[in-house]
Amino acid sequence: MKDLSKVNNPYGDDKVISQCSIFGMMNTTGEVFSGKEIITAIRNMHERGNGLGGGFAIYGCYPDYPDDYCLQVMFDTRANREETEIYLKRFFHIQHSEEIPTCPTEVIKNPPDVYRYFVQPKVEELHEIISDDDIVIRRVMKINTTLDGAYVFSSGKNMGVFKGVGFPEEIADYFCLEQYDGYIWTAHGRFPTNTQGWWGGAHPFSLLDWTVVHNGEISSYGANRRFLEMYGYICTMHTDTEVVAYAIDLLARKHGLPVDTVMDIFSPPVWEQIDRMDPDDRKYFEVLRSTYGPLLLNGPFAVIIAHHGEMVAHTDRIRLRPMVAGIKGDMVYASSEESAIRLVSKDLEKVWIPVGGHPVIARLKELAKDDVVEGGRELLKAEGMEV
């Protein structure tokens, strides 16, 4: 098994620590738009990164292959790619594949080769009943942990992650992102303190169509990681962002919890607040905290999490990392700095600093009655079953 933690975390520290700029924007009608604005916005926060990592996630960018999983994979060498392709062909029907177009620039040094594959899993290879999603996750993990010189950036349908070592605006230029269209875009500029920078280690982190861009250092990393390990997740990268991605996968996909509830698990109210709630809400939080307490994300963080249909901006409960949200018409923005939003959207209808631990959730209008919610929403009613 290859040791990704050594690649991503060469000094073998507890975890990779980085401080960052993050930005996200979504059109809640689902209308697509180009990367021009987000590149402008993230460039404006240049000082928050140090050139050791930048990346983007785009949703709705592959309308020609809406039902195929798009695996975006980086390779160190041609031999690595050929080996990986043999593996892919064994487990997937490849509908289409291509090298991801790039516009080489002077600043990007030693880029890996990045390819994309639109695939459908071959169910006939299996002797057990599992979902397509689980097959894809299993194979992606396998590639990431065992195949030399290959690493999967993203594996969702009709979405893609583009990332690398450089400032985010340089990565955008390199992957010609102005030419893509999507209805959700998220971006990340990175200031890692204990890694030289490795393309696979840049953000967004992704599992299926879930992506995470993250600014912060999760002090509960050790507790979160050991809990996830119990549910079969192997934290290969030794970075705190990885645990956020896996926690979302466990809670939202495997346990089927709505994203609002997942955020309540990450940053629940403190017990004194819970004690003052009405009985139904109190029950809800009591159950969440006592079941998923080990997934409380402690320490300073701000994240923008996205998957098809939803973009969520969220901070730790005492808001130790910045987050600003803004709305203009159908557009919803989230950013580390207000100036970046104002730069790309002049007259915002609303711009505000969300309360710590209160997620701002933007949703496609067709999916929800409110396209943007923050705090104050209705909580699920919790009902105990006899045991």
Partner 1 sequence: MLTAQLPEFNVDRDEDRCIQCRVCERQCSFDVYGYDVQNNVMIHKEENCVACQRCAVLCPTNALVIKENAYTYKQNANWTREAISDLKKQSETGGVLLTGMGCDKPHKIYWDHILINASQVTNPSIDPLREPMELRTHLGRKPDSLEVKDGKLSFPDYPKVELSTPIMFGAMSYGAISYNSFKSLAQAAHEYGTLFNTGEGGWPKELRKYGSNTIVQCASGRFGIDLEYFNDAAMVEIKIGQGAKPGIGGHLPGEKVSEHISLTRMIPEGSDAISPAPHHDIYSIEDLQMLIHALKEATDYQKPISVKISAVHNSPAIASGMVRAGADIIVVDGLRGGTGAAPKILRDNVGIPIELALAAIDTRLRDEGIRNWASLVVSGGIRNAGDIFKAIALGADAVYVGTPALIALGCTVCQKCYTGKCAWGITTQDPYLTKRVNTEIGTQALVNLLRAWSLELKELLGCGGINSIESVRGNRLQLRGIGLESWEMETLGIRGAGQ
Residue positions annotated with a catalytic role? 20
Cβ proximity to partner 1, 64 vs 272, nearer residue: 272
Strand partners, 54: 164, 189
- The tokens for 181 are 């269209």
* Rounded least distance, CB 8 to partner 1, Å: 16
Binding test (CB under 8 A) with partner 1, winner from 7, 141, 176, 223:
223
* Rounded least distance, CB 16 to partner 1, Å: 11
Cβ proximity to partner 1, 72 vs 220, nearer residue: 220
Distance CA 206, CA 196 (A): 21
335 in Cβ contact with 38 (< 8 Å)? no
315 in Cβ contact with 321 (< 8 Å)? yes
Cβ proximity to partner 1, 47 vs 229, nearer residue: 229
Q: Does 386 bind partner 1 (CB under 8 A)?
A: yes
CA distances from 200 to 5, 55, 74, 274, 373 (A): 11, 10, 8, 40, 33
Q: Does 110 bind partner 1 (CB under 8 A)?
A: no
| Residue position matching structure tokens 């010609």 | 176
* Rounded least distance, CB 15 to partner 1, Å: 7
Question: What is the number of alpha carbons within 13 Å of residue 231 lying toward its C-beta?
Answer: 16
Distance CA 318, CA 298 (A): 9
Distance CA 265, CA 271 (A): 13
Cβ proximity to partner 1, 261 vs 336, nearer residue: 261
Count of residues that interact with partner 1, criterion CB under 8 A: 52
195 in Cβ contact with 5 (< 8 Å)? no
Judged on CB neighbours under 10 Å (0-12, 13-18, 19+), 294 is middle
Site residues for partner 1, 318-347, by CB under 8 A, read 318, 320
* Rounded least distance, CB 204 to partner 1, Å: 21
* Rounded least distance, CB 231 to partner 1, Å: 7
In degrees rounded to 5, what are phi and psi of residue 310?
Answer: -140, 140
Cβ proximity to partner 1, 43 vs 307, nearer residue: 307
* Rounded least distance, CB 65 to partner 1, Å: 31
Distance CA 130, CA 133 (A): 8
Which residues fall within 8 angstroms of residue 161, CB to CB, at 6 or more apart?
A: 55, 56, 57, 72, 153, 154, 204, 206, 211
Binding test (CB under 8 A) with partner 1, winner from 291, 329, 367, 377:
291
* Rounded least distance, CB 334 to partner 1, Å: 21
Distance CA 205, CA 216 (A): 14
- The tokens for 273 are 């607040």
| Range in contact with partner 1 (rule: CB under 8 A) among 56-64, 220-228, 327-335, 367-375 | 220-228
Binding test (CB under 8 A) with partner 1, winner from 165, 184, 208, 288:
288
In 187-258, which ranges are continuous DSSP H helix?
221-230, 240-248
Q: Write each residue from 174 to 213 as x if it is in contact with partner 1 (CB under 8 A), else as -, in one continuous string.
A: -------------------x--------------------
| Range in contact with partner 1 (rule: CB under 8 A) among 52-60, 66-74, 149-157, 292-300 | 292-300
Site residues for partner 1, 224-283, by CB under 8 A, read 224, 226-227, 229-231, 254-258, 261, 270-272
Q: Write each residue from 294 to 323 as x if it is in contact with partner 1 (CB under 8 A), else as -, in one continuous string.
A: x-x-xxx----------------xx-x---
Binding test (CB under 8 A) with partner 1, winner from 104, 106, 290, 347:
290
Which residues fall within 8 angstroms of residue 183, CB to CB, at 6 or more apart?
A: 26, 27, 29, 30, 31, 32, 33, 59, 60, 364
Cβ proximity to partner 1, 28 vs 220, nearer residue: 220
Task: Return residues touching partner 1 (CB under 8 A).
Answer: 12, 14-15, 17, 19, 193, 216-217, 219-224, 226-227, 229-231, 254-258, 261, 270-272, 284, 287-294, 296, 298-300, 317-318, 320, 380-387
